[in-house]
Structure 1
Amino acid sequence: MSELQAAKVELAYEQPFFASLLMKRPIKEDRSIPTMGVDRRGQIFYNPEWIAKLSRPHLKFVLCHEVMHVVCMHLTRRGNRDSERWNIAGDYFINSFLSTSGLGTVPEGGLFKEGSETKTTEEIYDGLGQQDDQQSESGGIGQGDELGGDLLERGEPLTQTEAAEEELRVKLDIADAARNARERGRASGSLLRLIDEVLNTKLRWYEILDRYFSGFTEENQSWKRPNRRFSASDIYLPVNDHEPSMGTVVIGIDTSGSIGDKELSYFGGHLNAILEQCHPEKVYAVYCDDTVSHVDEFTQEAFPVELEPHGGGGTDMREIVAWIEEQNIEPDVCCILTDGYTPFPESSPCPLVWAITTDEGNPPCGDVVRIDMEA
């Protein structure tokens, strides 16, 4: 096993967020670059002679460094800024962020300025003065920065449409990687905050939700239903479905009074568009204030789902999770619409997504999607 492959394997255990993104991107040998770099389409390149000199911890660090350029979308955010200085600003942010997030130390020659992780790349760029241009804390620009010049602006620039498509692809990949890291319990608080900031400010909430549902569809479409020709013999074989399908979905609705007809109509419209693509076998709409007040069941024949308010008392979304356990059902995913003013469960028997209409609430389990009613 090569050192590069070994580093990726270790990251899969230690840092599943970064490993997930690395697995989705080509990593190609390129002796024309001095160290490592990433291009506009998120492809990562490396000079084998340079990485051979790195220790395993430093190799893992620089792999995460390149992934962070993708996460931060540094190549699409540059605009008309000076490319060299922008690269330096990005390196300051990334190296400080990774270091303070417990991913190791910056390799010798890498740029580092304490506190850079608390600023945006734009703020760091604006703060670079003439002294920084001539001599950074780790050496001259392009000289002391071992990873300088790793934003590879090769070939023709992306068109506006291509750039938008690439940005969307990155956001959806980040959502997938974030879910994986949360499920594994291996994501620092600073990383989760960065992920939430990127997703909540750059990607429409229903695009994130669509990716979650589609992910479960892809995993379950072949094996969810038994082939009845063999069921009498206790032989379980997959059905060759011609379209994606998933099993059971639970939609939890906060009916404490703060979620009204407008919110239900808006959420339901986007939700039905997502369900239409995923073809779940059954959907439970579970209405809850401080207790489960009403449950509707929908099958594929009954779509679209119509959400209606029931209840109107206090708020305790833990009751929806308790209802799932009491009913002994095994949904592929539960999505709860709430304003966030509620106690949250400490754990969930199934994958859980919170669709929250405010900035309130920090659930200890599940993934959070913030709903912008204007988007």
Structure 2
Amino acid sequence: MRDRISKQRSQLILSQPFFGALLMRLQLVEDPSCKTFWVDGVSLGYNPAYVATLSDLELRGCLAHEVLHPANGHCWRRGVRDPGRWNQACDYAINPLVLNAGLQLPAGALIDGRFLGKSAEEIYAMLRQEGSEQPQPQPQQPPQPAPQLQPQQDGSGQGDGSGPPQPDGQDGPDDSSAGGDPSQASPEFSPGEVRQQPQAAQQALANEWKVAAMQAAKAAQMRGKLPGDLSAMVASATRASVDWRSVLHRFAFEQTRSDYSWAMPNRRYTHMGLYLPALHDQSVGDAVFVRDTSGSVFDETQAQFGAEIEAVFTSLQPRRLFVVDCDTRIAQVQCFERGEAIELGPIRGGGGTSFVAPFAWLEEQGVHPAFLVYLTDMDGKFPAAPPSYPTLWASTRPIDRIAAPPFGEVVEVMV
């Protein structure tokens, strides 16, 4: 089976040099314990029983699929996300790239038009949101004792619950219902595992794969065999990432006007006969955070953004904190005074998106904040004139897929 995989890898080098060159970086590992494939940026594991069920074209497509995971950084971008849902999100993100390259994938590959052009993080957030909206199953009463019978299927797909769980959140058919030895049944298609190396090795691997992806893209482009969407993928995957939390806090603290002044002595040292300047705090004025509640910014992102709002308020201590919920109009305004305990209420609103209302409301109220931070997907109408105060747009969409706003600074928020 290894020879067969090596042969299809060689075919990719000739026909699809981008995939083929990157595949040479992965060591093949036979692993009957996995269901289909797995990849971790160093090795490519495969189940020989599953590979035997694939045609040559399907195998070629699977190899291209697997190598796109480290090429996209999926093996070190997961963080604390659920591994099964992350696998699905990554597959939804890259499968269209494989198909658009003219390759074939096995039946059952994850394809959904809603996710076209979206990153794995965006898809993960959508899947998580949809999962949280599903009705929770009602607790069931303990089963009553029954006569001992041989376990059997009743045709409803409900077994006795003793079978192993399906990986990646996929519910496959019970092999026992097909008759015969379950070990002889062909493995069902499901997303391959996107595994992670130890934390200490991830940064070095990420850097190596960024360089490798750029080199492979350049080589394929010279041969005229690099589709446009793959070129865009490489540009996005090799773009330097920035921690949005640090940018948010840096932006907020840059608006402080605290400084040392000789006008008032530092009382810590006056008893020693030393006249030293004291910290003269002119204080931060009002701080404004706007939450886009149009429905395109998901709950998990809102929760993380809310936590950062509280952290900024606690550390910066502005005179007043305004938290504004807005879609096409303002749905809620919360105001907290300095020193007051902060407890953000649930978001309100839903509908379209317009950025005009919060700026207009501040002007009507005579509020001139030290800064404003706006969490949004950046798809809306901007004010006709820029405000006089600094603005930070916290975009839930990748920066390379949005138009530059007419004013302010932009940071990409990925939770």
TM-score, length of structure 2 as denominator length:
0.43
Greater relative contact order (CA < 8 Å, ≥ 6 in sequence): 2
TM-score, length of structure 1 as denominator length:
0.48
